[in-house]
């Protein structure tokens, strides 16, 4: 069952409170490259990114926040470290959410200034705890950045905001260690009702990063924990969005088509890999919630894919089209994918 959290709003996107799990990613072009960042943000949106984050290391980047707000549709999160002035300036530039750790901006008056400005604009704050930058006192208390230490750090930051009656909070607890990440979120989930931004940080390059993120994010979502997700990859940001969308789809929480294909074996007489990739490509962006099976043989294919809404099973130079396990007709191999698509359109 999904953990029930309070809801916060990032522009038009709801996080928590039972809202669908949203997908985030982060721009990675230099701040001065306004056009490059805008093109990247639009590409992320097209791939299904619900919320776009941008680093704000200096005043120049505040101009980028304003440009993104003017020319992109997705809500923009300003990612800030230490400098509360940059948070205030980003808010004035239209940021829809601020990522900052209140304990790191120095002094209650600064925390109050950011909390008041966010409240005034209805903008939430994400507290982003990272195992690599845990407070000294907590490292001394726990000996290392344990999951318990990370959860305690997040609650300490949250208390600073709560002291100024600010509760529009999202929390993330990231570690590059998958097991620690899962444990930390599980602890925190039982200690507060704030929505959680879930991800495995510094997960690695595309292949390993997707594996780590799928395990970490997947384990949490299966336990009902997680309201917005970010897959963190050393790759183009659009790959993060694709991976996040695939994770949600694999858990039955995404929109669009789910392609099921068999691993092939000695019975396969068609180029199934090419067909499966082509079906996947053509269904990218498809909004229909449909399960499509692409199976290697007619002996086991329709039966194995009985749960699918529609599918094909390879024969010798042809494929059988079937719908919910019932055979529809035979199609020549070179027409099979086209005919499958026509049947999907008819569903």
Site residues (vs ligand SF4, CB under 6 A): 262-265, 267-268, 295-297, 299-301, 304
Which of 2, 277 has the CB closer to ligand SF4?
277
CB of 249 to ligand SF4, least distance (A): 21
Which of 89, 304 has the CB closer to ligand SF4?
304
Its sign, for the CA torsion 181, 254, 257, 262, is positive
CB of 262 to ligand SF4, least distance (A): 3
The pairing of strands 258-261 and 8-10 is: unpaired
For residue 334, give every residue at least 6 positions away whose Cβ sits within 8 Å of its Cβ, in sequence order, or none. none
Number of H helices, E strands in the chain: 12, 15
Q: CB of 227 within 8 A of CB of 195? A: yes
CB of 327 to ligand SF4, least distance (A): 14
Residue with the two structure tokens 């994400």: 126
CB of 334 to ligand SF4, least distance (A): 19
For residue 211, give every residue at least 6 positions away whose Cβ sits within 8 Å of its Cβ, in sequence order, or none. none
Q: Taking CA 244 as the corner, what is the angle to CA 272 and CA 78, rounded to the nearest 5 degrees?
A: 150
- H or E segment to which residue 228 belongs: strand 228-230
Which of 262, 279 has the CB closer to ligand SF4?
262
Which of 243, 337 has the CB closer to ligand SF4?
337
Closest-approach residue to ligand SF4 (CB): 296
Which of 159, 330 has the CB closer to ligand SF4?
330
How far apart (Å, rounded) are the C-alpha atoms in residues 245 and 163?
37
Which of 151, 295 has the CB closer to ligand SF4?
295
CB of 305 to ligand SF4, least distance (A): 8
Which of 1, 265 has the CB closer to ligand SF4?
265
CB of 340 to ligand SF4, least distance (A): 16
Rama region for 153: left / alpha / beta (φ>0; ψ in -120 to 50; rest)? alpha
How far apart (Å, rounded) are the C-alpha atoms in residues 28 and 40?
9
The DSSP secondary structure of 52-114, one letter per residue, reads EEEE--SHHHHHHHHHHHHH-SS-EEEE--S-HHHHHHHHHTT-SEEE--GGGS-SHHHHHHH
CB of 333 to ligand SF4, least distance (A): 14
CB of 167 to ligand SF4, least distance (A): 52
Instruction: Decide: helix, strand or coil at residue 41.
Output: helix
Which of 155, 319 has the CB closer to ligand SF4?
319
CB of 256 to ligand SF4, least distance (A): 24
Which of 233, 294 has the CB closer to ligand SF4?
294
Tokens standing for residue 311? 């599918």
């Amino acid at each position: 069952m999904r953990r029930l959290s309070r809801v916060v709003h990032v522009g038009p996107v709801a996080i928590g409170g039972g809202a669908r799990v949203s997908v985030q990613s982060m721009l990675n072009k230099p701040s001065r490259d306004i056009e490059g960042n805008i093109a990247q943000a639009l590409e992320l949106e097209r791939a299904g990114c619900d919320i776009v984050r941008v680093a704000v290391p200096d005043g120049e980047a505040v101009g980028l926040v304003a440009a993104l707000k003017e020319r992109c549709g997705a809500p923009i999160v300003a990612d800030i470290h230490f400098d509360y002035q940059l948070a205030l300036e980003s808010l004035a530039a239209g940021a829809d959410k601020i990522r900052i750790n209140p304990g790191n901006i120095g002094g209650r008056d600064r925390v109050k200034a950011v909390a008041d400005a966010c409240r005034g604009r209805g903008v939430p704050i994400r507290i982003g705890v990272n195992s690599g930058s845990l407070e000294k006192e907590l490292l001394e208390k726990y000996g290392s950045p344990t999951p318990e230490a990370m959860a305690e750090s997040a609650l300490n930051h949250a208390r600073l905001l709560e002291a100024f009656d600010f509760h529009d909070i999202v929390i993330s607890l990231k570690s590059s260690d998958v097991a620690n990440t899962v444990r930390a979120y599980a602890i925190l989930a039982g200690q507060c009702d704030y929505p959680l931004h879930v991800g495995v940080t510094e997960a690695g390059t595309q292949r390993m990063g997707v594996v780590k993120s799928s395990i970490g994010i997947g384990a949490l979502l299966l336990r009902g924990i997680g309201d917005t997700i970010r897959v963190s990859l050393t790759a183009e940001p659009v790959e993060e969005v694709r991976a996040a969308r695939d994770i949600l789809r694999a858990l039955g929480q995404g929109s669009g088509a789910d392609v099921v294909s068999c691993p092939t074996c000695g019975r396969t007489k068609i180029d199934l890999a090419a067909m499966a990739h082509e079906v996947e490509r053509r269904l990218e962006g498809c909004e229909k919630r449909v399960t499509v099976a692409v199976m290697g043989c007619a002996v086991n294919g329709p039966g194995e894919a009985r749960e699918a809404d529609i599918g094909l099973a390879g024969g010798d130079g042809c494929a059988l089209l079937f719908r919910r396990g019932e055979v529809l007709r035979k199609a020549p191999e070179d027409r099979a994918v086209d005919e499958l698509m026509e049947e999907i359109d008819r569903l």
